[in-house]
Structures are given as C-alpha cells and as structure tokens.
Chain A
Amino acid sequence: MTKELSKPELLDLYRQMVLIRRFEEKSAELYSEGKIGGFLHLYIGEEAIAVGACKALQPGDHLLTAYRDHGWAIARGLEVRRVMAELLGKATGVSGGKGGSMHLASAEHHYWGGHAIVGGHLPLATGVGLAIRYREEPDAVLCVLGEGTTNIGYFHESVNLAAVWKLPVVFLVENNQYGMGTEVGRASAVSAIFQKGCAYDIANRQLNGQDVLEMHEAMGEALDYARQNGPVLLEALTYRYSGHSMGDPERYRTKAEIEEWRTRDPIFQLCDKLIAQDIATQVELDQIHHAVEADLSGIVQFAEESPEPEDAALCEHVFVNPIPHR
C-alpha cells in the first residue's frame, strides 16, 4: 500500500497531519485569548481522513464539508495563513472575514464550503454532481459529513437523488462517535453507518479513519467508481480528542475512552509505519515538526497583522446584480 506513494509524498502526508494538529492547537489558544470569536470546532484526532482523502482528489474534483472544516481546507491546499486569517475575521481570510471558522471556502480549489447547518450541504453537493454529469465532465464530488448527519432528512433526499441520477458523489461520513454529546447508538437505529448505503443500493464501505494510507487508497477507488457509476457511501471510523466545540463540558464520555483512542493516533501510527518500514528516520520526522512550528508562527503573524475588513464590506456581496436602492 505504501509502495504507491513516494517518500516525499509520504512525508508530505505526515507534514500535513502535523500542521493541521498544530494549527488546531494554536487556534484553541487564540480562542482562549479572545482573538477568535463564535464557535470553534477542532479537528484534532481526525487528521488522517482529510489528508488521506484530499491526496486522492484530482485538481478538478469538488469538495463540500460541514463546519469542522479547518483540516479539510488545509488538506485541499488553501493558503494556510488565509485560513487562520479567516478564523481571526480578517480581510485577508479565505472568506474575507465574513464567514468565520465554519464557513471556509475557495472557488479556485472547487472547495464550495464549509457549511454550518447540519446536512445542508448534502443537497448542494448533489447539485454539483448534477452539473458535472450535465456537462459530461470527468470530475467527482467529495461530500464530507458527520455520522449524526445520516439521521437527517437531507441525507435520505440527497443520497436517494444521487443514486437515481447516478451522480458522481462520494458521501464520506466521518464517524467520530458523537453528534455533539450524543453517542451514535443513541441517535441512529443503525450504528454501522456505511450499511445505510444498502437502502439506496449504492456501493458502501467502512474504513479505518485513523490510517491516512487506507483513507488515500480507498478514496481513490471510491472517486473512480463514482466517476464511472454513481454515488458511494464511505464511513471512516475516527475520534475527536477535543470537545464538540470550545467550551464543551464533555459529560458524555470518560478520560479513559479518550486515552484509549489516543493509542491509535493517526500521526503516531504513520510515524511508526514510516520508521518500521525504513522509509524515514526519527530525525527526518523531527525536522518536519520543527519546520511546521516555523511555518505556524508565520501563519499566526500574518493573520494577526492582517487588516480588519473595511466598513464597505458590510454591504458588499448581498447580490451579484444589486438593484439601486429606490
């Protein structure tokens, strides 16, 4: 499995996961300092999914996610300092400071958001898939959702329509075990989420979301299948070490449970694998950590020193074709 990727590619996957983790830890600090407002949903523990999946995306492919989106934006190749600037509400942010943590996007990268209404982006992703088929393009759509989203009507409506019209959409469920504070088994009649694909007669599979290499390989297969045939439902098993968002009292789980998942940490797992297979040395991996720290300070500095949006930004972009006030 590791043979497909070159050493530089593998080290880059490692670097991205470390960068996302450190980005998130830094974000938590900035939030505590009051520099980031609103809600902040951290991706710590789930890094392998975004990094592995995005590695399999082609440049023309499309991405839509929910609001736990920093890791996805970074893995998709958005300028990291502009992602941080968005968290700080700055004019240089990827959404000009008007979206915030939950609404990252980049048209250039075909990353159509960053959506904060649970399930709301599933119909949108289905529509992007429709546009691909309409224009007979070779691309696919990756639509990322949490396991809690599979209980919403939108999930049924969107997966059903994508299946009826054979649209090239991969619905990737990040099953981090909890929808906010409610355990999957208390909210979903089916705990093995991938099995919900059977209801729509579409390809479905469960994955180890802690393994970046498995994610990469499976996502490549799923995207190719979707391009040729139609929608796929993937479930990646994972865990978030942090609360749902900042300020989560976490009464719904134990410290022991978190520690147990930490033994399967995606970054440590790749580290162990690279060293065990003589692909990299500990020194090389340490160098990556140092480089990430240096990058991160530049990222934070850029975001902090960036200007606030101008007052005029308040009323910009309500309409593309505004009508003069009469």
Chain B
Amino acid sequence: MARITFREAISQALREEMYRDERVFLMGEEIGTWGGTYAVTRGFLDEFGEKRVRDTPIAEGVIAGAAAGAAIAGLRPVAEIMTINFAFLAMDQIVNHAAKLHYMFNGQMRCPLVIRTVGGGGRQLGATHSQTPDVVFAHFPGLKVVAPGTPADAKGLLKTAIRDDDPVFFIEHATLYQARGEVPDDEDFLVPIGVSDVKREGKDVTIVSYSKMLQVALDAAGKLAEEGIDAEVIDLRTLRPLDTRPIIESVRKTNRMVVAEEGWRAYGVGAEIASRVTELAFDYLDAPVRRVAQAEVPLPYNRRLEQMALPQVADIIHAVKDVLYIK
C-alpha cells in the first residue's frame, strides 16, 4: 500500500498491464514525446518504445476506430481521447461500431478496447472543454462506462478494463489527478466493473455519487456529521452496467436519498437512479429523491459564474436537509 496520486495510479495500471501483456499498447494524441497532456504517460515512450506508445494525428474518429480494429484483430489497445468533449468526434466509432460488433455479428468479433478520456469542468476552459456528458456514453448497450473517484479505484478499475474482453469507456475527471489516496501495490489488484461501493456508512440519508462528485459528497457528509446528520455515501464507479443493489439496500435503511452528479440534471444519472429507486424501493422512501447537478447552461468561462453552475458541497448539504425536512 502506498499513498499516491490519481495520476500515478493510472500510470501504474497502464505500466503494469503493458508489462503483463504484450498485446496491450497505447495510442492517442501527444501521449508519447509530449508525455500526455495530463502527464499520465510521461516516460512511457522511452520505457516501451514507439511500437507500443503511438502518437497519432489529431483525428479522434480514426483513433477510436483504428483501436477498435486492432482489438478485433486480437490486440488490446488503450486509446486516449484527450478530452471527453473530443470523444463526440469519435462517437460513431464508439457507439455504432465498438459497442455493437460483438452483438451484431453474433459473437464472432470481440472488441477488447479501452478508451481513456478526461472529463469534467471547473478549470475555466469554457463551454466546449468542460463538459461532463458521461451519461451520453452510458446510454448504449454493449459499452461499459467506468468513472472512478479515488486513486485506488482508478488503478483497479483500469486494470480490470484492460483485461476485460468488451469495449470500456474510462472517464478520468480532470480535477482529480492530484487527489491522493492509499493504493495497493499488488500487480493483480483489480476492482470489478459493475459494482457500486459504499464509501461512507451512515443511517440518516443516502448520497449517491461518483467521480469528482464523490469527493464533494464525502466533504458534504463530513460537514453534515458536525450537525449530527449521518450520511451514507455510495460511489457508483461504473455507470454501465449500473449496480443498484447497494443503493436499494441503503435506501431501505435511510429512507431518504440525494443523487449528486456533475453533469446536467435532465436525463441524467440522478434521473436514472431516482427512477430505479421508485421502481424497487418506493415504499421505503420518506421524501422525494433530490437531484444535485449542474445548472442547465453551457459552462461559462468566468470563474464565479462557472462555480455557480457546478454543484458544490453546500448544494448537497441543502438537498440533504430538504429530504430530511430540516429547515
């Protein structure tokens, strides 16, 4: 166990899997000579060479698509799309091809592909570089969507994703790279895809979150504890397939739920989870489910306006008090 950053955890996962499996290679914009725009792959080019650390043109469609093609042919590519906003240029390859090949051709093809990408707002990059459109990708059967919130989960989930035989869309939040946490050194440390995790136990209210908002939710839970409110915090970790069991179990205990996500509220993670809780645990709810999410605007550049639009600790605290009917 070592205390390392989220960035180091991702790097470790990549390095370990590249040593473990000759078929694993990296491709993407500026991952080699530059070392990665978020410095995740710094030193990889020297360590593994040009064959396995491949700088590509700025052409997201063929980055995702060629990686998918290499996967069909038996390799295990980890393609990096510099930010999730650019993944829209590769959307057709991701959802029309990678996510459908195995099904459409009746199991004849496999696409063991990982697409790593960076999402999230809060760095004053303006409307086109700050999105959290995770749910868009989670809409499609055939694509696994993973978004870790801690360094340990980042490492364990990325290693699992690389070893998985399906396409995995792996979302790293841009403001989490410096986050530190205890991470196992074990080279076979894996975190399963499709399993939600209780990150903080509590009895009064359930806060469901993931990725960057997990940290915000944990901060909110800490402050609520000072006021005598005992919040349980659940980390989804995987958006598809979505594991609802810990959520349902928690709501049966607390009878109140808040879902906190960084993306927009409409058609979002909160909408999905509130719906599932209504279907599976309606009788246990003592208050309507509250959603904490981004304001329904393209994110502005101005720092104060941007922070107004993004969900904050205070928003979660407010929502929790709402479902507890505390004025």
**Residue from B57, B69, B105 within 8 A of A95 (CB atoms):** B105
A316 within 8 A of B: yes
Contact status A323-B101, CB under 8 Å: no
CB of A149 closer than 8 Å to a CB of B: no
Q: Which of A117, A132, A165 contacts B96 (CB 8 A)?
A: A117
Judge whether B102 and A123 touch: CB under 8 Å.
no
Binds B, one of A26-34, A69-77, A153-161, A276-284: A153-161
Total number of A residues with any Cβ neighbor in B under 8 Å:
47
Provided the pairs A62-B73, A95-B106, A318-B141 are in contact, do residues A117 and B66 lie with their beta carbons within 8 angstroms?
Answer: no
Let me know if B70 and A131 touch, CB within 8 A. yes
- In angstroms, Cα B109 to Cα A105, docked, is 9
In the assembly, what is the distance between CA of A122 and CA of B25, in Å? 21
Binding stretch for chain B, among A96-104, A174-182, A244-252: A96-104
Segment from A5-13, A106-114, A256-264 that makes contact with B? A106-114
Q: How far is the CB of A167 from chain B (nearest CB, A)?
A: 9
Say whether B104 faces chain A, with CB atoms less than 8 Å apart.
yes
When the two chains form their complex, are residues B72 and A321 in contact, meaning their CB atoms are under 8 A apart? no
- A98 in contact with B103 given A123-B65, A127-B67, A161-B56 (CB within 8 Å): yes
Chain B proximity of A322: nearest CB distance (Å): 8
CB distance B106 to A317 under 8 Å? yes
A130 CA / B225 CA spacing, docked (Å): 55
- Among B25, B65, B92, B241, max chain A CB count under 10 A is at B65
Q: Determine if B245 and A131 form an interchain contact, defined as CB atoms under 8 angstroms apart.
A: no
Q: Are A127 and B72 in contact (CB under 8 A)?
A: yes
A98–B141 CA distance with the chains assembled, in angstroms: 15
Q: Is the CB of A112 within 8 A of B109?
A: yes
A124–B51 CA distance with the chains assembled, in angstroms = 19
Contact of A123 among B93, B103, B166 (CB under 8 A): B93
* A residues near B57, Cβ cutoff 8 Å: 157, 160-161, 164
Residues of chain A contacted by B73 (CB below 8 angstroms)? 62, 112, 127-128, 131-132
Residue numbers in B under 8 Å from A154 (CB-CB): 61-62, 65
Question: A113 near B101 (CB under 8 angstroms)?
Answer: yes
- Nearest B residue to A117 via CB reads B96
Contact of B243 with A by CB under 8 A:
yes
Report B47-64 residues with CB < 8 Å from chain A CB: 51, 54, 56-57, 59, 61-62, 64
- Taken residue by residue from 60 to 84, chain B's Cβ proximity to chain A (1 for < 8 Å, 0 otherwise) reads as 0110111111111111010000000
Point out the residues of chain A lying under 8 angstroms from B74, CB to CB. Answer: 131, 135
Interface 1/0 per residue, A107-144 and B, CB below 8 Å: 10000111101001111111111111011000000000
Q: B51 touches which one: A99, A103, A134, A321 (CB < 8 A)?
A: A134
C-beta contact mask, B121-151 vs A, less than 8 Å → 1, else 0?
A: 0000000000000000000011010000000
Residues on B with beta carbons closer than 8 Å to the beta carbon of A128: 69-70, 72-73
Confirm or deny: A186 has a beta carbon within 8 angstroms of a beta carbon on chain B.
Answer: no
Known contacts A96-B106, A98-B106, A158-B65; is-contact A319 B144 (Cβ 8 Å): yes
Q: Does B193 reach chain A (CB closer than 8 Å)?
A: yes
Query: What's the minimum C-beta distance from A210 to chain B, rounded to whole angstroms?
Result: 31
Known: A160-B57, A317-B102. 6 other contacts (CB 8 A): A112-B72, A124-B93, A126-B66, A157-B59, A157-B65, A321-B166
4 nearest A-B residue pairs (beta carbon): A127-B69, A123-B65, A96-B106, A131-B73
Which B residues form the contact surface with A (CB < 8 A)?
Answer: 25, 51, 54, 56-57, 59, 61-62, 64-75, 77, 92-93, 96-97, 101-110, 112, 141-142, 144, 164-166, 192-195, 241, 243-245
The residues of A with any CB-CB pair to B shorter than 8 Å are 62, 95-99, 103, 105-107, 112-115, 117, 120-132, 134-135, 153-154, 157-158, 160-161, 164-165, 316-321, 323, 325-326
A-B contact pairs, 19 of them (CB 8 A): A95-B105, A95-B106, A98-B104, A103-B105, A112-B69, A112-B72, A112-B109, A113-B101, A122-B65, A124-B93, A126-B69, A160-B59, A165-B54, A318-B102, A319-B144, A320-B164, A321-B165, A323-B241, A323-B243
